[in-house]
Structure 1
């Protein structure tokens, strides 16, 4: 191996001396070579990833309690829901009142019902994805709404 410095002060190495320079022979130490291996291919680096397991959501109506009696003359009351784990940003919840979707699906866990008729009502909540697929449903909760009647004897 030969080494020389050019007129700009740059050091060069070669396996043959360059004419017109004061190249000096350099002795390499044994085992000072560098072994380079080619970069790994995409097939080598690809790991066999298992598909992501779907999240199992748990949803429950926490208020009002099942079989609760609600006394509210204007027919307004709230339904509070608990979800585990926290909903993914693409998911929403839909409230059903007596088997029919009550309002637009939402991300918040508090539903406000307005001017509901007196009597027995069945409530449930579903977690739905952006395509409307149901991922989880709550147990059905039955409530009894009492409203004062203007009709009365007397």
Structure 2
């Protein structure tokens, strides 16, 4: 039994000395790592199949690389030109023209998007001029942003306030009363409100 245990250990560790076997005087098979003159024979051992923890022939593992994202383009300047900050717009229909600019100019694939009180006013486009209508009276905020091809925000301005003053037709007539020549020419002076012309009293004799 001790002999089999010894050879099992030697097989597990092939770097140790060779194994020899012989039959003693009592007829028992003996295994030893010491050569014995006479009838001791060397036991051939199978080559170990253990692999090195870092085999030199193994290909190194390469982590899968992610595609690099292009950095966002930087604009030196982006601002709302018209209306000016804190401007008061007078319009009975709540209309205002917004103009924006950037430096450098809009890059290829980029688009402007105008925001009114934080909400987009229309689909992004390349035109720097926006026409807005039916804006409620009161104070509002404008801002503009530039989007790239992937819809990412490249630049965005801070909120710029303006004030909408919607004057009614009656208020316009009070400020500037309608004359006979204004009817049909000014929106606040419709033809239906034009007073009848006074007839010349001398024409009734003809």
Q: TM-score range by the shorter chain?
A: 0.5 to 0.7
Task: Provide the residue aligned with 2:103 in structure 1.
Answer: 84
More strand by share: 1
Task: Provide the residue aligned with 2:165 in structure 1.
Answer: 146
Cα deviation digits, residues 43-96 of structure 1 (max 9, x gap) = xxxxxxxxx875311210011011110001111111110111111120001000
Indicate the structure whose relative CO is greater, using CA pairs within 8 Å and at least 6 residues apart.
1
Cα deviation digits, residues 12-53 of structure 1 (max 9, x gap) = xxxxxxxxxxxxxxxxxxxxxxxxxxxxxxxxxxxxxxxx87
Alignment RMSD (CA, Å): 2.1
Q: Which residue, 128, 138, 152 being the options, matches 1:109?
A: 128
CA distance in 1, matches of 2:82, 2:109: 25
CA distance in 1, matches of 2:120, 2:71: 29
CA distance in 2, matches of 1:151, 1:118: 16
Q: Secondary structure at the match of 2:125?
A: coil
Deviating 4+ runs (over 6 angstroms): none
Q: In structure 2, do the counterparts of structure 1 residues 79 and 145 end up closer, same or farther at CA, with 3 Å as the change threshold?
A: same
CA distance in 2, matches of 1:64, 1:145: 11
Deviation at 1:130, TM superposition (A): 2.1
Matches within 5 A, 1:91-102: 91-102=110-121
Q: In structure 2, do the counterparts of structure 1 residues 54 and 99 end up closer, same or farther at CA, with 3 Å as the change threshold?
A: closer
Deviation at 1:151, TM superposition (A): 8.9
Normalising by structure 2, report the TM-score. Answer: 0.46
Q: Secondary structure at the match of 1:112?
A: strand
CA distance in 1, matches of 2:162, 2:80: 12
Normalising by structure 1, report the TM-score. Answer: 0.60
- Where structure 1 has 5 or more consecutive residues not aligned to the other structure, the ranges are 1-51
Q: Which residue, 75, 79, 92 being the options, matches 1:60?
A: 79
CA distance in 2, matches of 1:98, 1:151: 29
**1:127 aligns to 2:146 (yes or no):** yes
